[in-house]
Structure 1
Amino acid sequence: MAALTKQSVQPGPSTDLQEGSGCYSCQEKWIGYQCNCYFVSSELKTWKDSKDFCVSHNSSLLQLKTRNELGFMKFSTSFYWIGLSYSEEHHTWLWEDNSTLSQDLFPFLKSVNPKNCIIHIPGRSILDRHCGKKSHYICKQQLI
């Protein structure tokens, strides 16, 4: 796997972090990291518009497996929409693929408003925000 360069990542990070994901190549303007492709937006959209953008690019809003999954963004200070929302039907937080949230990923999620959507600073914290407000977003395309 190609090594990452140490740089500060603001909204719309440089796509020259890696040519490909180390497993496959990613679409133009996407970042390859640990066998996944990520699109980090520089524009602001509502949660739904962010989700629709990701779907239109054969991906989904970010679904985190670990808190440190976005190692290439560890210097980011921006919040991004992620693919986590509250299911009234199931009375729990679900990822876009309907899988449940690991309790140790965000143990303090119980204190956020379930009517809102979730924004995340990579590797740090999450907050709830009205889904109709605009924020940056991250799409993820799993390659394996």
Structure 2
Amino acid sequence: MCVFLLAGRKLYMLVFLSFGLLCMLQAALNISLRLSLCDCKNLTDNADELKKRVNHYAQLGWEYSHPSFYYISKEMKSWQDSRNYCQQNGADLIIINSLKEQLFTGLFRKIAWIGLTKIDNAWEWVDGTPLTESYWGPGEPNNLTESTKEYCVETRFFEKERSWNDIPCETKNVWICEKTVRL
């Protein structure tokens, strides 16, 4: 009889431990599922917020191309006045970071200011980063002397990949503002 009691205790202990392990596994799965659902809700919330922003800025004349909004002006101003306009609207002149973005500027079919300027004999973007990838037109930049003062850059649409031109900053042009989306 003693043997049966010992065997019964071991069986109960085994059932108790198994049940405990199953409870811990269930708790871990519940937590994992809850975190997954939270991530899905956050993604849905972010998508909804992005849709609202796209609709809002579209009504104001901005275009969306991941990950930024772009505004092409209808009026013409100097490079600095164009930049001031962008900054007053929470943006800056466009910084062209990729061939995709360069090709995107050609879709506007305008000669427009971009956020590139010459500072201390080096080309620099409006965010302070140096120029590393460029799309200069043939023979450009061509007037880097002090007498010509072609310190600002416009993009043209004649040649999609080679369209930049350095010109005096006082020239009147339309411009492209860029507002990066952060959710």
TM-score (normalised: structure 1)? 0.72
* Residue aligning to 2:130: 100
Contact 2:140/2:166 (CA < 8 Å) preserved in 1? Answer: no
The answer (yes or no) to whether the contact 2:86–2:92 under 8 Å persists in 1 is: yes
CA distance in 1, matches of 2:107, 2:127: 28
| Residue in structure 2 matched with residue 132 of structure 1 by the alignment | 170
Is there any run of 5+ residues in structure 2 with no aligned partner, and where? 1-48
1:86 aligns with 2:121: no
Cα 1:22–1:47 shift into 2, 3 Å? same
Give, in whole Å, the separation in 1 of the partners of 2:104 and 2:78: 24
Higher strand share: 1
Go from structure 1 to structure 2 and tell me whether the alpha carbon gap of 1:100 and 1:135 turns closer, same or farther (over 3 Å shift): same
Higher Cα Rg, which structure = 2
Deviations 1:8-40 (A, max 9, x none): xxxxxxxxxxxx977942522111111210001
For 2:174, the aligned partner's letter is: H
The answer for the alignment partner of 1:113 in structure 2 is 143
CA–CA separation in structure 1 for the residues paired with 2:105 and 2:136: 22
Structure 1 distance, partners of 2:153, 2:83, is 12
1:51-70 CA distance string (max 9 Å, x none)? 00000000000100113315
CA distance in 2, matches of 1:71, 1:21: 24
Find out whether 1:143 has 2:172 as its counterpart: no
More helix by share: 2
Q: CA RMSD in A?
A: 2.6
Q: Is the 8 Å Cα contact of residues 140 and 165 (structure 2) preserved in structure 1?
A: no
Q: Count matched residues.
A: 122
Retained in 2: the 8 A contact 1:30–1:37? yes
Q: 1:80, 1:138 within 8 Å by CA — same for their partners in 2?
A: yes
Does the aligned pair in 1 maintain the 2:153–2:167 contact within 8 Å?
yes
Name the TM-score, length of structure 2 as normaliser.
0.58
Q: Which residue of 2 aligns with 1:31?
A: 63
Residue in 2 that maps onto 1:59: 91
Question: 2:8: which partner in 1?
Answer: none
RCO higher in structure (CA 8 A, sep ≥6): 1
Q: State the alpha-carbon separation in 2 of the partners of residues 36 and 23 from structure 1.
A: 14
Runs of 5+ unmatched residues, structure 1: 1-19
Instruction: Give the structure 2 partner of residue 41 of structure 1.
Output: 73
